[in-house]
Amino acid sequence: MMLKSKMKNISIILYKPKYAGNVGSVARVAKNMGIGNIIIVGTSGFDCEEMQQRSTHLAADVLDKIRYCKNIEDALGKFNYIVGTTARLGKGRGPFISPRTAANDIVNISQKNKVALLFGPEDTGLANDQLRLCHSVVTIPTSREFTSLNLSHAVMILCYEIFIASSEATNTQEVAPTLARSQELEGMYAQIKTLLADIGFLNPENPDYWMMHLRRFFTRAGILSREVKIVRGICRQLKWYAHYKKT
């Protein structure tokens, strides 16, 4: 029996795309590869004619269904697993995985989780602030001479690999459990950060340094919703205890 990727659980998130033509092309790619959901964050008001021309009328339904969001936390809040993409391999931006490795993970995880594929603006790509929200970061192999892919081509490669992995996958592997949603995770991180700042653990000049390591650990471990609740309970208790001790 095949372990079909639940394509309905996979969404493409475009963070601040600049060109209507690219948005149209992405809609076409999505339809070609069986993905129905696109969310655009931070930009809107694209030229309809240009979008439609590039999507072609056969992907008009995907284009019409695009959701627009003002900020990225709102867009990602309901997702359990977020895959970022980047061509810039700076230190602290990874660890990076290949589209093929990511695709195999995504087919498995998408059985019981909502997965977001996150792509940055055409000129700059995703910044560290957005990569921070991701569970894994994909980098698409290219010639060293020209590493920057057109937005719709990057979307195509990742979606194509997922489509192929989904038709090749078998159910011999264990299905990934339902992970905590991004919203829950971010709430937990905020609480941990406050606590660690309160007890003087975080350097006030660079509080995100240790937080980055904690984020990596939690996403690598694949933290579940009930585990987030436990961690938050512990944080609350620690806060109460620290306060009680002081008074």
- Identity of the residue, 134 or 159, whose beta carbon is nearer to a second copy in the bound complex: 159
Per CB under 8 A, 224 contacts a second copy:
no
33 lies in the binding site for a second copy (CB under 8 A): yes
Q: Does 124 bind a second copy (CB under 8 A)?
A: no
Contact between 134 and a second copy by CB under 8 A: the answer reads: no
SS3 13: strand
- If binding is defined by CB under 8 A, does position 157 make contact with a second copy? yes
Among 90, 92, 95, 146, binds a second copy (CB under 8 A): 146
**What are residue 170's phi and psi, to 5 degrees?**
-120, 165
**What is the distance between the alpha carbons of residues 22 and 54, in angstroms, rounded to a whole number?**
8
Residue 112 three-state SS: coil
By CB under 8 A, is residue 165 in contact with a second copy? no
Structure tokens at 181: 């949603």
Please state, in angstroms and rounded to a whole number, the distance separating the CA atoms of residues 135 and 217.
10
* CB 27 to a second copy: min, Å: 10
Nearer to a second copy, 39 or 157 (CB): 157
Q: How far is the CB of 85 from a second copy (least distance, A)?
A: 14
Question: In the numeric block, which tokens belong to residue 67?
Answer: 């959701």
Site for a second copy in 54-113 (CB under 8 A): 54, 56, 58-59, 100
Distance CA 218, CA 228 (A): 10
Q: Which two tokens stand for residue 97?
A: 């995985």
Specify the length of the chain in residues: 247
Closest CB to a second copy among 34 and 77?
34
User: If binding is defined by CB under 8 A, does position 38 make contact with a second copy?
Assistant: no
Site membership for a second copy, residue 143 (CB under 8 A): yes
Among 31, 181, 193, 215, binds a second copy (CB under 8 A): 31
Please name the amino acid found at residue 49.
E
Q: What is the DSSP letter of 2?
A: B
DSSP state of 12: E
Q: Measured between alpha carbons, how far is 68 from 89 in angstroms, rounded to an integer?
A: 29
Quick check: 162 binds a second copy (CB under 8 A)? no
Q: Residue 65 CB, nearest distance to a second copy (Å)?
A: 14
34 is an interface residue for a second copy by CB under 8 A: yes
CA-CA distance, 11 to 61, in Å (whole number)? 15
154 Cα distance to chain centroid: 15
Q: What is the binding site for a second copy (CB under 8 A)?
A: 25, 28-29, 31-34, 54, 56, 58-59, 100, 140-143, 145-150, 152-153, 156-157, 160, 163-164, 167
